[in-house]
Amino acid sequence: MRRYGERTALDGVSVSVPAGSSLVVFGPNGAGKSTLLRVLATLLAPHAGTTTVLGCALPREGWKVRGRVGLLGHEPLLYKDLSARENLRYHARLHDVRSERAEELLDQVGMWLRADEPIRELSRGMVQRVAACRAVLHDPELLLLDEPASNLDPAATAALEPLIGRSSGRTRVVTSHDPAGGLKDADLVLGLRAGKAELHGSAHDFDAAAIGALYA
Amino acid sequence: MRRATAAVLRKELRLELRTPQSVPAMALFSITTFVVFHFALQRSDISGDLASGVLWVTLLLGAMLGIARLFVADREEGGFDGFLLAPVDRTSLFVAKATALLAYLIAVQIVAVPAFVLLLLGPSPSNVGALIGLLALADLGIAIVGTLVGALAIQSRARDLLVPLIALPLLIPVLICAAKGTTPLLTDGGAHAVAARWPLTIALYDLVFGLVAYAVFDYLLED
């Protein structure tokens, strides 16, 4: 359970994601999707219940999880007055990752030529690409993705697939408003409404039309 | 911890150099205040405890501007979350921020103190070494307390109000000791010796608040 003051943002959500699989989370705005990701990322402490991430109980063992999780949320977590390269190098130092890794990722997502421009001068799609690089810079075991395809054109989506997509081989928890796209890349489905789990099961048991009817 | 501290400090200084905000604001405020004092006091020059008081009140109020801005980019651009996701000692953020604030204070005083001497001070400061020592000790205290208060206030939308409301009372001991210690350095007829108890008291204050900050800063970052 997680509350914001008097409001309960998550309550009674029970879900288990096996290593290497992908969970897609559907739900209308305010359903608790982003809160779930922030709890799993150790940025918010659960107020009740049991949360285990990568074998560590939260919030007690949160320090063991940090550095093993990559979060790509609505905010890119990048300083607007620094360039893409400077931002990634900064995060590389924090995660004790060699700076060449930042260069490789910038090249991989097609941002090499714009890498020295301040983040504030880049388009939202470009910022999202840099943010994806930041999220996977330290090669995390668990990826937490909050609508990762937002602001991305098809070419950028394809460029990010090996990093944050299913083919990355990482365990993923992904929120989505796209039933067809979300189900295609998922093993498990969780539907949230007003902080409570409304549906949960294998992705094969649901079809996009039914999900769309519930959460469109 | 050293790696994370160096990374945050380097980022902090790069941001300030790229888009100067804190240092110019603090410096301009200090110089403008000296000009205002110059006219308001209706004297051609001041010395002794008055000079010391004017100097320290101005520097302290100028510091509030830097403290209020210290965590703004981290709060508004997700820097806190980015830092908290990394496997680093959270105290490194405190050390880096306090060091950055200390650097800003020193940069401001390199401009503001000569401006004070030119605009207001009657006697030439003869014991510059003692003055620099007192400035350094007081700056360290302001940086430590300022970083703590800045981290606390940034969680609130009323941070511009909270920073002076919390920081100024906490910094009163520094203000008293620094002003008392500086008075003999700014008197007519040449500098007198500074009583050792004033710099020692500031040093003790720095030590105590440094330990307090080390103990509580982690909790300020908790949600």
Q: How far is A197 from chain B (nearest CA, A)?
A: 24
pLDDT less than 50: residues of chain B: none
pLDDT of residue A47: 86
- Chain B residue with minimal CA distance to A65? B87
- Local structure of B156: helix, strand or coil: coil
Query: Alpha-carbon torsion B42, B45, B46, B51, what sign?
Result: positive
Q: How far is B4 from chain A (nearest CA, A)?
A: 5
Other Cβ atoms closer than 10 A to B204:
14
B1 in A contact zone (CB under 8 Å): no
A134 in B contact zone (CB under 8 Å): yes
Range with the poorest average pLDDT among A102-106, A135-139, B156-160:
B156-160
A2 in B contact zone (CB under 8 Å): no
Q: What is the ipTM of this complex?
A: 0.92
Could you say which DSSP state residue B35 is in? H
Q: Which two tokens stand for residue A177?
A: 């408003």
Q: How far is B158 from chain A (nearest CA, A)?
A: 19
Answer yes or no: is pLDDT of A14 > 90.
Answer: no
Query: B-chain residues within 8 Å CB-CB of A63?
Result: 87
What's the CA gap between A114 and A84, in Å, rounded?
8
Tens of pLDDT, residues A154-192: 888 999 999 999 888 899 999 998 888 888 889 999 998
